[in-house]
Amino acid sequence: MKITALPFAYEFELAHTALVIIDMQRDFVEPGGFGETLGNDVSLLQAIVPACKAVLQAWRQAGGLVVHTREAHKADLSDCPPAKRARGNPALRIGDMGAMGRILIAGEPGNQIIPELAPLSGEIAIDKPGKGAFYATGLHERLRQAGITHLVFMGVTTEVCVQTSMREANDRGYDGLLLEDCTESYFPAFKTAAVEMVRAQGAIVGWTATSGELLPALAALPAQP
Ligand code: TIU
């Protein structure tokens, strides 16, 4: 199918496309998590949840593959480089006890994907120690096995984990689409710039579109049992 996108139409087949939802976890979206300990106002990110939910529901109904990621470290922090833990001057560091359990640690309450977008069994859910979804996760191999060539991205934050993941995907040969109204940053100007960077120079990193452009195309597909 073909949808209106920038800088030009985005063409994909659902059977070869995965919806990739980056880090929509309580650590970034709710107060008391990693995002807030870095000094950010997390309320901005909550605004995209309804649009993300609508796309996820439509994607599931059409029978498309879904990938969820969480930025998560092991409890012993063996996969957290000291430089990452030491960076900045946060109120709490990765691994410290926060309001939703240990900050950015796999399995802790704060590390769970928000209930509105919780993974279903059969969907891929990966813990990633870095910003990109492909670093140290085995995601590329799993997508190749599933015959995936195209990736539709949502999630947070636009210029950090979303953009890094899109760039990693681009270097691995995937055609990526970013849904503008399904991604957000703690810094509105950074979101705007990241969206423009993705589609500049003839889709140098990928395409951008809104969920309003994708949803009718999905609705036109036959629903899966
Ligand atoms: N701080 C920030 O904007 N983002 C992150 O630390 N991780 C993700 O983007 N997921």
Q: How far is the CA of 214 from the centre of ligand 1 (A)?
A: 25
Query: pLDDT value at position 90?
Result: 84
Query: pLDDT value at position 22?
Result: 99
DSSP one-letter string for 104-144: TBTTSGGGSBPGGGPPPTTSEEEEESSSSSSTTT-HHHHHH
Q: Which of 40, 52, 153, 156 to mutate to test the pocket of ligand 1 (most atoms within 8 A of CB)?
A: 156
Query: pLDDT value at position 91?
Result: 84
Report which residue type is found at 172: R
Ligand 1, atom nearest to 157 Cα:
9
Angle at CA 182, nearest 5°, toward 38 and 109?
Answer: 45
Output the ligand 1 site: residues, CB below 6 A: 23, 28, 38, 71, 156-157, 160-161, 186
Query: pLDDT value at position 139?
Result: 98
Alpha helices in the chain (DSSP H): 26-29, 34-37, 43-46, 49-62, 82-86, 139-145, 163-171, 188-203, 211-219
Peptide bond into 157 cis (omega under 30): yes
Query: pLDDT value at position 97?
Result: 96
Q: How far is the CA of 104 from the centre of ligand 1 (A)?
A: 11
Q: Is 52 in a helix, a strand, or coil?
A: helix
Name the residue at shortest CA distance from atom 1 of ligand 1. Answer: 35
Name the residue at shortest CA distance from atom 10 of ligand 1. Answer: 161
Q: What is the mean pLDDT of each run of 10 residues along the chain (225 residues)?
A: 98 98 97 91 96 98 98 98 91 94 97 98 97 98 98 98 98 98 98 98 98 97 77
> Which member of 52, 161, 175, 191 is catalytic?
161
For tokens 């300990």, the residue is 37
- Give CA–CA dist 41/163, Å, rounded: 20
- Give CA–CA dist 202/145, Å, rounded: 29
Query: pLDDT value at position 74?
Result: 98
